[in-house]
Structure 1
Amino acid sequence: MTLTNLTKKLTLSVLGLCAAAFITSCSDDSAEPTPTTGEEQFVVSIALQANDATFTYYTVPFNDVMTGKLSAVGQGIEQPGYYDFTQIDKTIYSIGGLDDVNVVGISRDEKGALKQIGDVSFANSLADIVKADENTLVAVEMAPNSDVIKFHTFNTNTLTVKSTKQHPVSAITNLKAPFYAGMSISNGYLYLGYYVADPKTFATPNTDKAQIAVFTYPGLEFQKVIEDTRIGPIGGFNTKTALIKTEQGDVYAMSHSNKANGFSQSTKPAGIVRIKSGQTVIDPSYLFDVAAVTGGKTISHMMYLGNGKVFVEINTADRAQQASWTDGPLKSAVIDLNSKTINYIQGLPEHAGQGRRLAALQDGNNVYMTIPENKAIFVYKINTQNYTATKGAEVQATFVAGFSKL
């Protein structure tokens, strides 16, 4: 079996655990296209699986996500293949994965309708795209079967490549293959979080420390790898959110070493460490002992909210009993990086993830996300101030790949 096929098999197996049971029809003739307005609209990237197990994604605007049913019938931007969605400012970027190696921007035209901007392809699919400044995005290309890591800078308006810089994988590790965990740019540096796994078996025999590669920005010159033996490797398979940046420019990195998200073993506690703004060392004075706060649990996904608060998905299974490649069972919560406390969200069912980037939207004091429940998928509006959730519309989808607002 080739690496690409094995990756596809593993990725789809994770999706299948969470999505196959929730496949719904997209043939509701009563569904009407959402009228286009000049106001901001919710935009949901709906994934539908065909009988041959292939996926098609529909990125669709909706005025209301809290009532009725959300369907892709007769509307939206269609993309067959496998795509990951991330919003940066007023553009959604759909990043092709597996055999799809293109990137497309989705924004709104002068009449408010969704439009595509740019369409650029690479030798390998991009691991992620992050904002560097008002005019520049930085993407990283790091395939498990490649011996180089490539950084591409883009013009934010046209999605054209401005420059490419590459480094040998051997600069950051002499072990097997580095898998992407997260990336952040702050105060003159680019921080690249990763974990190491066997590119054929995906086994992770080296879990005794966290590693983050440091590059200059904008020069993208390699500086060094910084390590921390208090926790295990950074991030997990395909989740992409293990590094977050605060308003002060501090970068926080999360480790879980959980079988639910790609690890074959765990040897260090789950936790979060910090890199102070402009520094190239992990701060030895800071450690958020996640296991101590959660009673031995781990964090699988993170989304920074502001003021030191982070929306997280907590895996409620003990690591020793955790089933592999399940991305669950999960409970949603808000953690405080400063006080090192946690508040669980009330009114949300325990749920499975999707084995990929968390599809969630922060809109003021609320987070919108979808949760599979009773063989259906529902939107939940989560108040991050009082830690309560309200159930919203049903989404006619196999799973939701992106939740945005334009």
Structure 2
Amino acid sequence: MKKVNLFFSLLFMGLLFVGCSSDDNGGNNPGTENPTGEEPQPEEMEKYVVTATPLATEGVADYILTTDDLSSGSISTEGNGIEQDGTYRYYVTNNDKFFSLLYGQGNPGAVTTYGLNSEGELELLSDFQAETVQAFEAVDDDILMMKISRSSDAPFAYWYRLDTNSLQIAAEGQINTQELADNENGEIAFFSWITQIDDKVYLPYFLVKGCCDDRFGTEFPDEAHVAVYSYPEMEYVETISDDRTSFIGRYFVNGLTADENGDAYAFSSAVATNAGEFNSTLPSAITRIPNGSSSFDSFYFNLEQASGGYVIDSHIYAGNGKFVGIMQNKAEMTSAYGGGKEFAIIDVYNETFEWVSGLPDPSTITTLTYRNNYVSEDGKTVYVGITTETGSFVYNIDVDGAAATQGLEVEGGVITALHSLKASAE
């Protein structure tokens, strides 16, 4: 009897040892595999979205391409991608959706939405008509879009709030831009872009005559204004103004960006005109609105002085107070609508300016992605599309090192936008 009991005791201990060994080596004990009891989360798939205009013919629409890497390799527009309907497309991403907006030259234009499925392919989610807009930006889970009048006879800007969940217009309203401008000459406000800070949207604007043969001219070149509205109600809160710079941003170009602290840095290109002539007496510079403040503070960074005579055309925020600025020699400016082809790292925390090396000779550059660029999640690399006489490439700008290297080539096309999309695996 004792021998039988000893046998079963040894057998039980052996089974217990085997069970413990299996658990330690990744066995199927549910308590070890999923100690929290929560359902395992699917892995996220990410693709870079590259839009490009084919070189073969004129007046053709962009193609939307996808790739796994922007730093090397090549993709082609030939036989690849999704062709857009109509030229003059503009792009924005929000809520893991890619929005393609058709600029309808004053007429309604298509808003086409794509998502990324678990297999890494773009899927059409919606396609509808909306008003052609001159400013648009991701705000919360929306795309806030603005159709802005350039006529003093009809001084209204119409805003539309596109819900990125329902993919429908959730609300709309209007702003009297003549009342907002409130000046003795009857000039009207024209919003340059849209910036969200906390639960408000900041709308920098410049004054324009809105009439005659000089609709975008102004007799008030040395003023900077930002209208603040609550969101999502879009109720007017206040206007923040400054007289140390000309207006913030430019037509269709963002000039106001908030850092991680919510402090808003305002970039002025100093490109105001009157009767076709530049008339600002102030230099291209950066000013600041501290988070929660109703006024600009004393911060002032003279970019023309720091750069040796250049103005800023547009900027890309990388993080930690560092911006990539696209610069233009002031002596060579012929238009208020940009044209800069030289890049610099602008550190607003330390007030430093450094030219980026490793980029093509500006004289060979034909096209840049001025606003549709991509910043890595860690903020260390900014990817820009640059087309030269020899091809169209993504250049990878090392922000800390102020140096660029050539990356992805888009064969047979001109890069127009760089974005990224994520999708959860099913």
| TM bucket normalised to smaller | 0.7 to 0.9
- Structure 2 residue 237 is matched with structure 1 residue 231: no
- Structure 2 residue 195 is matched with structure 1 residue 184: yes
In 2: Cα distance, 1:187 partner to 1:122 partner = 27
In 2: Cα distance, 1:162 partner to 1:252 partner = 30
Aligned residue for 2:257?
Answer: 244
Distance 1:205 1:402, change over 3 A: same
Distance 1:292 1:90, change over 3 A: same
Cα shift at 1:330? 2.2
Query: Secondary structure of 2:239's match?
Result: strand
Aligned residue for 1:17?
Answer: none
- Structure 2 residue 130 is matched with structure 1 residue 122: yes
Cα shift at 1:163? 0.9
In structure 2, which of residues 243, 265, 282 is the aligned counterpart of residue 268 of structure 1?
A: 282
- Structure 2 residue 69 is matched with structure 1 residue 61: no
Cα shift at 1:234? 1.3
Larger radius of gyration: 2
Distance 1:311 1:263, change over 3 A: farther
In 1: Cα distance, 2:45 partner to 2:224 partner = 44
| Contact 2:247-2:272 at 8 Å conserved across structures | no
Distance 1:241 1:166, change over 3 A: same
Query: Secondary structure of 1:230's match?
Result: coil
Q: What does 1:2-401 align with in structure 2 at a 5 Å threshold? A: 39-48=45-54, 53-79=58-84, 80-99=86-105, 101-123=109-131, 125-133=132-140, 135-145=141-151, 146-173=154-181, 175-199=186-210, 200-201=213-214, 202-238=216-252, 240-258=253-271, 264-265=277-278, 266-283=280-297, 285-315=298-328, 317=329, 319-324=330-335, 327-351=338-362, 352=365, 354=367, 357-363=370-376, 364=378, 365-396=380-411, 399-401=414-416
TM-score (norm 1): 0.80
In 1: Cα distance, 2:149 partner to 2:160 partner = 14
Cα shift at 1:215? 1.5
In 2: Cα distance, 1:47 partner to 1:204 partner = 35
The one-character-per-residue Cα deviations of 1:297-347 (angstroms, maximum 9, x if unpaired) are: 1111111111111121121x1x24422267334211221111111122110
Alignment-mate amino acid for residue 406 of structure 2: K
Sequence identity, in percent? 25
Query: Secondary structure of 1:234's match?
Result: coil
The one-character-per-residue Cα deviations of 1:242-289 (angstroms, maximum 9, x if unpaired) are: 1111111121211112389x9741321111111121223222x11122
Distance 1:275 1:326, change over 3 A: closer
The one-character-per-residue Cα deviations of 1:162-202 (angstroms, maximum 9, x if unpaired) are: 11121112132254454432211213321101223455544
Aligned residue for 2:25?
Answer: none
| Contact 1:102-1:122 at 8 Å conserved across structures | yes
Cα shift at 1:355? 8.2
Aligned-residue CA RMSD (Å): 2.8
In 1: Cα distance, 2:178 partner to 2:366 partner = 33
| Contact 2:257-2:264 at 8 Å conserved across structures | yes
In 1: Cα distance, 2:129 partner to 2:88 partner = 14
Unaligned ranges ≥5, structure 1: 1-36
Cα shift at 1:138? 2.2
In 2: Cα distance, 1:227 partner to 1:272 partner = 14
Distance 1:128 1:259, change over 3 A: closer
In 2: Cα distance, 1:353 partner to 1:227 partner = 36
| Contact 1:85-1:401 at 8 Å conserved across structures | no
| Contact 1:331-1:349 at 8 Å conserved across structures | no
Query: Secondary structure of 1:236's match?
Result: coil
Aligned residue for 2:29?
Answer: none
TM-score (norm 2): 0.77
Distance 1:55 1:275, change over 3 A: farther
The one-character-per-residue Cα deviations of 1:41-77 (angstroms, maximum 9, x if unpaired) are: 22101123675x5230111102344445432222322
Alignment-mate amino acid for residue 109 of structure 1: N
Unaligned ranges ≥5, structure 2: 1-42, 422-426
Cα shift at 1:161? 1.2
Aligned residues: 362
Distance 1:129 1:237, change over 3 A: closer
Alignment-mate amino acid for residue 195 of structure 2: S
| Contact 1:361-1:405 at 8 Å conserved across structures | yes
Cα shift at 1:205? 4.1
Query: Secondary structure of 1:170's match?
Result: helix
In 2: Cα distance, 1:403 partner to 1:274 partner = 28
Query: Secondary structure of 1:277's match?
Result: coil
**Deviation larger for 179-188 or 267-276:** 179-188
Cα shift at 1:232? 0.4
Alignment-mate amino acid for residue 274 of structure 1: R
Distance 1:191 1:350, change over 3 A: farther
In 2: Cα distance, 1:256 partner to 1:353 partner = 21
Distance 1:130 1:329, change over 3 A: closer
Cα shift at 1:155? 1.7
**Deviation larger for 353-362 or 368-377:** 353-362
| Contact 1:48-1:397 at 8 Å conserved across structures | yes
**Deviation larger for 350-359 or 229-238:** 350-359
Distance 1:204 1:278, change over 3 A: same
